[in-house]
Amino acid sequence: MPLSEHEQRMLEQMERALYAEDPKFASALEGSGLRTYTRRRVYQAVAGFLVGIALLMAGMVAQLIWVSVVGFLVMLGCAVLAVTGWRKAPKPGEQPAGAVRRPVRTKRSVMDRIEERWQRRRDEQGR
């Protein structure tokens, strides 16, 4: 369910406030590490696929069937890795599906602090 315009504005405002208050914490919450790892894995799979093509062609030129078969298997394995890695990549702002979650107690205390800061700002602006 998409957010309404008002909710999107409020979310953007909260993000800006979080970056202004604690930029180090905000950058840690972005979670780009898994996306970078997944993207790197896909690139490696594409490179392996190209190596597989080279092996396949070399086997054909040298008339060594076993080299061509190995090249084909490398291509197949790398294609499977690339496709599965691409599908498992989390979208920006999305929680990874198989991610290990922190204890609820820690998350709750962080969220409580953020909510307290937000309430303080709203109270200060309202006065």
SS3 percent helix, strand, coil of the chain, rounded to 5, is 80, 0, 20
What is d(CA 116, CA 103) in angstroms, rounded to the nearest whole number? 20
The residues near 35 (Cβ < 8 Å, ≥ 6 apart) are: 89, 90, 92
pLDDT of residue 100: 47
What is d(CA 48, CA 27) in angstroms, rounded to the nearest whole number? 33
Segment 25-62, tens digit of pLDDT: 766 666 555 567 777 888 889 999 999 999 999 999 99
Phi, psi angle pair for 100, to nearest 5°:
-80, 125
What is d(CA 53, CA 73) in angstroms, rounded to the nearest whole number? 10
The residues near 37 (Cβ < 8 Å, ≥ 6 apart) are: none
pTM value > 0.75:
no
* Predicted confidence band of residue 114 (pLDDT cuts 50, 70, 90): confident
Segment 67-109, tens digit of pLDDT: 999 999 999 999 888 888 766 655 555 555 554 444 444 456 7
